[in-house]
Structure 1
Amino acid sequence: MAALTLDELRSHFSVRPGYLSACMVGAPPRETVEALTGDLGAWGEGHRDPARYGAAVERARGAFARLNSVETDRVAVGSQVSVFASVVAGSLPEGSEVLLVEGDFSSMVFPFLVQQQLGRLTVRCVPLERLAEAVTPSTTLVSFSLVQSATGRLADAEAVVEAAQRHGAATFVDTTQAVGWMPVDASRFDATVCHAYKWLCAPRGTTFFTVSEEFAERLHPFTANWYSGDDVWGSCYGPEMRLASSARRFDVSPAWQAWYGTAPAVELFASADIAAVQRHCVGLANALRRHLGEPESESAIVTWPDPDGSVIAALAAADIAGSSRAGRARVAFHLWNDEADIDRVCGALGLA
């Protein structure tokens, strides 16, 4: 089947003008709203079938695998980025060195710092632009966000992967601020993690973890539970434990309703021309950067200095949804945005 065009994908959304905050919370497609509304009504009547939720989880898992160019058996599901980061951090051998990015999102930092406090790991933090050159033969793992949350800056993933492979280090990548607006090939990395409630426009509480077969053998399933069993419904009671041989052994018991709304959202993006979405989003972002006097970039996220919060206050007064991070105003352009949103921002800030 031909991929959905940008216009076809946009037809599934009814997002208000001025919503420029997909990097904080995505807006759901109508299919997700309908799924959650219908499920809430059925729940209220006592018609709740766990098997139906399990089917939604598998639909979402398969769609995410297609979207990220990996096999379905390489995808685990959970609820939060930090849970999977903690599995990776806790599985590293004692004495490992982990290379992190200064200012990266804390869910990709704190799990490793906890292990450092326990005396198990050594953590080094470097600026994003120095990440690839900072990899050395002593580096065990490079952990970073593909797109930085605070600034929208893109990591030079090719350079980092090349450096990691040259020095025998593994790569663990947070793709939360990337998947949905830019093509991502998760098979390039040893492991990735992605929360779906931002650019994939799903309910909060659904996260995907991709892991290569080789790297999975180096991880301990610290979160083992009934849902990570080889036979899910046959794993409800101990003490016998048979975990799945695939990445499912890292599954975390799903928040049912959230997954019922996630499946249709991720399926839409897996059926779409994401390269067209990227061109649209980056084009709008760069148009705003020109008005702001900021250098152009390949990111759909635009940030600029706002130390006193006056910029974000002006946007809010004009009913423009943005956010403030690390002393900077932040807006994001997704598939539903258009040139009129640029005019709204410029009008709110008094820009020509």
Structure 2
Amino acid sequence: MTPTHPGRVSILTAPSRALADAIAEFGEPRGYVATASIGIPPRRTVDALRADLDAWARADRDPQGYDSVAERTRASYARLVCVDASRVAIGSQTSVLASLVAASVPEGAEVLVAERDFSSLVMPFTQTPGARVRSAPIERLADAVTADTFLVVFSLVQSATGYVADAAAIREAAGRHGALTLCDTTQAAGVLPVDASDFDLTICHAYKWLCSPRGVAFLTVGPKADAVLHPRQSGWYAGDDVWRSCYGTDITLARDARRFDVSPAWQAWIGAEQSIGLFAGLDIAEVWDRSASLGELLCHELDLPPQRQAIVSWPDPDGSQLARMTAAGIRISGRAGRARASFHLWNTEDDVAEIVAALRG
């Protein structure tokens, strides 16, 4: 293929051995630039899922056997986002975890959300009686925090545009006014370095950049949030001893973030253990440099404003450009009247060149 920049073979530096090994696990998914919609599994994840299904079919599986899988996955995720595992609760959906937080908002308290953020993150707050929800553009969210704000809710990376929030400014403003922060890292964890301890609460659904089966989500709970969050969804898996917490109300909830756990969808966690374990062993800054470099190259080739992001989007109100790329065999997505390309560790300059060729004929 002709290089997109004549005379330059590659804009990407040679990957480290760990990253090269990880890339090899994904085969050759050329033309797949839709990770912001759904990630694809590494080989180890597919192998583990197949082995588990075979074991289940042989009647060689029991519920207790999945507990250690969930705990190893929790530990890997904790390492990935730089917190202790005792700060991590497990769940299945963003909206459910956001609803847990919303249910703990005091009557009359203000919740400041990013304008046009992902619905599963913000809708639970608009549906909470007594909460006063106000929105502001993500670019000016820090300036919108006031002394009346109880909680600031935003995605670290915006789903529709790939915009990376100025988390430091939002954190500083929230701290200055005594507000809590809830950051959704679904479009960040696995491609952009994330330190969950920077926020009072974070939520992540792992089926995108962490390349896990759908139905695996995480909530991290910092010390300030721990004091106000109520385990309203607690069930048997939130017990201090889960297998003695199956019946009745006379159970003791876990003392750490496990008291917010939801029982795991077993097969999904079999796959997630492998995928998240893989990403926890990588230098995510290296993954970001690779992915954002490809985003920058695409912007250069399409004469778009510079966006050093893993997600690049541009106006496509009638969907004609999306249709043209899809017809060319490119797996890409469209959101909010925009075409959206999302680059991950397996992508190369060839993927950029295919997009450009499809759009320019």
Asked if TM exceeds 0.5, the reply is yes
Alignment match of 1:287 (pick from 267, 288, 297) = 297
Q: Which residue of 2 aligns with 1:192?
A: 202
CA contact (8 A) 1:4 1:272 kept: no
Q: Distance in 2 between matches of 1:93 and 1:263?
A: 36
Alignment match of 1:211 (pick from 204, 207, 221) = 221
Q: Distance in 2 between matches of 1:146 and 1:239?
A: 38
Q: Which residue of 2 aligns with 1:166?
A: 176
Q: Distance in 1 between matches of 2:249 and 2:292?
A: 52
* 1:255 aligned onto 2:265: yes
Q: CA deviation at 1:311?
A: 0.7
CA contact (8 A) 1:81 1:108 kept: yes
Deviations 1:299-330 (A, max 9, x none): 20010010010011011101101111000000
Alignment match of 1:8 (pick from 21, 39, 42) = 21
TM-score normalised by structure 2 residue count: 0.94
* 1:202 aligned onto 2:195: no
Q: CA deviation at 1:52?
A: 2.3
Q: CA deviation at 1:5?
A: 3.0
* 1:121 aligned onto 2:131: yes
Give the percent of matched residue pairs that are identical in Structure 1 and Structure 2: 54
CA contact (8 A) 1:174 1:194 kept: yes
TM-score normalised by structure 1 residue count: 0.97
Q: Distance in 1 between matches of 2:86 and 2:174?
A: 25
Alignment match of 1:71 (pick from 84, 97, 102) = 84
Q: CA deviation at 1:91?
A: 0.3
Deviations 1:242-282 (A, max 9, x none): 10000000001110000010001000000011111110000
Q: CA deviation at 1:82?
A: 0.7
Q: Distance in 2 between matches of 1:342 and 1:36?
A: 32
Q: Which residue of 2 aligns with 1:143?
A: 153
Q: Distance in 1 between matches of 2:134 and 2:181?
A: 15
Structure 2's unaligned 5+ residue stretches are: 1-15
**Dislocated runs of 4+, deviation >4 Å:** none
Q: CA deviation at 1:213?
A: 2.6
Structure 1's unaligned 5+ residue stretches are: none
Counterpart of 1:243, as a letter, is L
* 1:111 aligned onto 2:121: no
CA contact (8 A) 1:178 1:184 kept: yes
| SS of 1:22 mapped into structure 2 | coil
Q: CA deviation at 1:15?
A: 4.3
Q: Which residue of 1 aligns with 2:341?
A: 331
* 1:305 aligned onto 2:315: yes
The alignment covers a number of residue pairs equal to 346
Q: Which residue of 1 aligns with 2:5?
A: none
CA contact (8 A) 2:81 2:195 kept: yes
Q: Which residue of 2 aligns with 1:348?
A: 358
Q: CA deviation at 1:291?
A: 1.1
Q: Distance in 1 between matches of 2:212 and 2:326?
A: 24
Q: Distance in 1 between matches of 2:122 and 2:180?
A: 16
